[in-house]
């Protein structure tokens, strides 16, 4: 699995991703340097992947999340048998919350059970993502904004099965992340096909093809956790290339079918990239 960059007889750049050997991408010279051609080529294949893999939500789907190439958890829509079983646990153990929000109120809602594979989670937990507007109760409880100018169309709650504590995971577009992030947060040098460090903007603000967005975690006192996640779309070969160049561990999947997106967990206080996650989506 690799991406090759060669030049044809016209001195244009030819790009082939071994994961997609039938796709031939040509970037025309147009007085560009070799380095500029390669940069344009990477942006082009990222955009091509995103356009070919539009993210759809349905009421019957499963998302598998991989960390370092190993399956970490599976998320289910609430109408599937696995989802209904998890919802019953939420209704039983968090009755106060169940009186405020109907976990099955939107068929697109997603739930999962997972082990603490990353910070800040420390115990077995249940994840719930809701596709309805956030009730005022939670906006007050976690001191978060629900301004549609800044937030995505879903938000999450994380239920610790041991302590019964609840965390909120707010999902922002790039402008929302810039507005609400902690002042001490560091944004590492992501590849330019995700984020333009010169403008401080995600490329999706211009092209709408990276689909870059950010999630931050809040405790019940409104404190933002040190760790945040940036999500984006790209072919696996491009992600691996960037990870190899920056000594970031990355687990390659032999089966690239159904890859939807990637997530990068960042320690905001240091700028260190802690994990790269691969998301696969299956329609059932």
Which DSSP string do the residues of 136-196 spell out, in sequence order? HHHHHHHT----TTTEEEEEEEEEETTT--EEEEEEE-HHHHHHHS-TT-------TTTEE
Nearest partner of 173 among 224, 214, 234, 130, judged by Cα: 214
Nearest partner of 68 among 222, 262, 233, 283, judged by Cα: 262
Average pLDDT over residues 35-48: 89
Average pLDDT over residues 4-20: 95
Neighbours of 183 (CB within 10 A): 4
Cut 0.85: pTM above it: yes
Q: How many angstroms separate the CA atoms of 216 and 127, rounded?
A: 14
Tell me, what's the pLDDT at 198?
Answer: 54
Neighbours of 249 (CB within 10 A): 12
Instruction: Judge if the upstream peptide bond of residue 120 is cis by omega within 30 degrees of 0.
Output: yes
Q: pLDDT (tens digit, 9 = 90+) per residue, 76-94?
A: 999 999 999 999 999 999 9
Q: How many angstroms separate the CA atoms of 75 and 110, rounded?
A: 6
Nearest partner of 55 among 215, 283, 284, 277, judged by Cα: 283
Average pLDDT over residues 3-28: 94
Q: What is the largest CA-CA distance in the chain?
A: 69
Question: Which position has the token pair 């790009």?
Answer: 15
Mean pLDDT, the chain, whole residue set: 92
Q: pLDDT (tens digit, 9 = 90+) per residue, 251-268?
A: 999 999 999 999 999 999
Q: pLDDT (tens digit, 9 = 90+) per residue, 91-127?
A: 999 999 999 999 999 999 999 999 999 999 999 999 9
For 52, left (φ over 0), alpha (ψ -120 to 50), or beta? alpha
Looking at residue 17, the DSSP 8-state letter turns out to be: E
């Amino acid at each position: 699995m690799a991406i090759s960059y060669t030049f044809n007889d016209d001195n244009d750049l030819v790009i082939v991703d071994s994961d997609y050997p039938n796709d031939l991408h040509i970037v025309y010279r147009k007085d560009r340097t070799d380095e500029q051609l390669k940069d344009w080529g990477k942006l082009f294949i990222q955009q091509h992947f995103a356009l070919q893999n539009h993210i759809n939500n349905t009421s019957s789907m499963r998302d598998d999340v991989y960390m370092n190439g190993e399956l970490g958890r599976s998320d289910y829509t609430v109408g599937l048998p696995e989802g209904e079983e998890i919802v019953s646990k939420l209704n039983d153990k968090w009755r106060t919350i169940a009186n405020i929000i109907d976990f099955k109120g939107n068929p697109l809602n997603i739930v999962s059970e997972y082990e603490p594979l990353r910070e800040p989670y420390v115990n077995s937990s249940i994840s719930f993502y809701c596709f309805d507007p956030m009730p005022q109760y939670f906006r007050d409880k976690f001191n978060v904004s629900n301004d549609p100018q800044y937030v995505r169309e879903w938000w999450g709650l994380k239920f610790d099965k041991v302590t019964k504590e609840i965390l909120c995971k707010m999902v922002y577009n790039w402008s929302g992340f810039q507005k609400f992030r902690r002042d001490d947060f560091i944004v590492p040098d992501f590849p330019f096909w995700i984020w333009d460090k010169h403008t401080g903007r995600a490329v999706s603000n211009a092209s709408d093809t990276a689909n870059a967005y950010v999630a931050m975690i809040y405790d019940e006192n409104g404190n933002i956790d040190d760790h945040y996640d940036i999500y984006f779309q790209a072919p696996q070969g491009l992600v691996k290339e960037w990870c190899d160049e920056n000594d970031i561990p990355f687990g390659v999947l032999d089966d690239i079918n159904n890859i939807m997106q990637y997530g990068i967990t960042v320690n905001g206080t240091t700028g260190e990239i802690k994990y790269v996650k691969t998301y696969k989506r299956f329609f059932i």
